[in-house]
Amino acid sequence: MKSVEERAKYDEYEMKDEYDFSDGIRGRFYQPKKIPTSMRLDNDILIFLKKQASEKKIAYQTLINNLLREYMQKDGLNAS
């Protein structure tokens, strides 16, 4: 943690009236919100997905999200 002296220099900080974001990248730090949910899957499907995820070294929930997102984009479906 920073010392009191190091933090004190920010006590008098004033924001500018305007900032230039013309070179900014929209959504650069955006991360989709994760919603806990239950989903009933057939056992053979779950085993297949977990095996695929293990081979790709990712969590199976991430694999499911990626597959669903790919499906949405392929079919032109909109999440909003």
Other C-beta atoms closer than 10 Å to the C-beta of 60 total: 17
Model confidence pLDDT, tens digit, residues 8-27: 777 777 888 999 989 988 88
pLDDT at site 78? 62
- pLDDT category, 77, cuts 50, 70, 90? low
60-74 and 43-56 are packed helices; what angle lies between their axes, rounded to 10 degrees?
100
pLDDT at site 4? 80
Model confidence pLDDT, tens digit, residues 29-73: 888 788 899 999 999 999 999 999 999 999 999 999 999 999 988
What does the alpha-carbon distance between residue 40 and residue 53 come to, in Å, rounded to a whole number? 18
